[in-house]
């Protein structure tokens, strides 16, 4: 797979990555649900060195269950969530699959925080799922 590109709803904040994503995963944690406005969020993991950003997102920082800090970047004009970083994973960027120009370029490989999935947004039984974050992950 080649690189990927994406943008916010209004196009003010956009990105490209020349490298292929390392993986994609669904997350059902409360923060992802609230920041996405739906039952889960799908993140695409990229190497930060391959990530190129245009525009100036605003950020909201919040600690995770484990105490790590997640910094969520969103467009200051349209409010679209674009990407995040996690203090426990330096050098990695987590773009929102909803921001991809071509969302069919990725396939989620797992679900995390599956125990927190609302009944109206069930976890895909065909994917490996973890009730919380697997040990050794942020």
pLDDT one-digit tens code per residue, 19-77: 999 999 999 999 999 999 999 999 999 999 999 999 999 999 999 877 889 999 999 99
Residue 134 has a pLDDT of 79
Residue 135 has a pLDDT of 66
Q: Decide if pLDDT at 97 tops 80.
A: yes
Task: Calculate mean pLDDT across residues 101-129.
Answer: 96
Please, what is the Cα angle at 26 between 23 and 29, to 5 degrees? 130
CATH number of 4-116: 2.170.150.70
**Mean model confidence pLDDT for the chain:** 93
This prediction has a pTM of 0.90
Longest dimension (CA), the chain: 38
Question: Lowest mean pLDDT: which of 56-65, 104-113, 126-135?
Answer: 126-135
Q: What are the domain boundaries of the chain?
A: 4-116
Q: Decide if pLDDT at 137 tops 60.
A: no
C-alpha–C-alpha distance, residues 100 and 15, integer Å: 9
- Percent share of the chain, pLDDT over 90: 88
Residue 57 has a pLDDT of 98
Q: Which of 48, 40, 46, 49 is nearest to 20 (CA)?
A: 46
The 8 Å CB, 24+ separation contacts for 73-81 are: 73/13, 74/8, 74/13, 75/8, 75/9, 75/10, 75/12, 75/13, 76/12, 77/8, 77/10, 77/12, 78/8, 78/9, 78/10, 78/12, 79/9, 80/8, 80/9, 80/10, 80/13, 81/35, 81/36, 81/41
Q: How confident is the model at residue 133 (pLDDT cuts 50, 70, 90)?
A: confident
């Amino acid at each position: 797979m080649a690189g990927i590109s994406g943008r916010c709803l209004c196009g003010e904040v956009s990105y490209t990555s020349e490298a292929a994503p390392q993986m994609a995963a669904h997350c059902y944690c409360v923060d992802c649900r609230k920041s996405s406005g739906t039952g889960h969020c799908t993140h695409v993991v990229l190497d930060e060195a391959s990530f190129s950003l245009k525009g100036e997102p605003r950020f909201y920082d919040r600690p995770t269950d484990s105490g790590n800090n997640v910094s969520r970047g969103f467009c200051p004009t349209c409010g679209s969530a674009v990407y995040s970083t996690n203090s426990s994973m330096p050098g990695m960027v987590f773009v929102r699959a909803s921001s991809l120009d071509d969302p069919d370029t990725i396939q989620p490989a797992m679900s995390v925080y599956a125990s927190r999935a609302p009944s109206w947004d069930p976890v895909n039984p065909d994917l490996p799922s973890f009730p919380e974050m697997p040990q050794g992950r942020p």
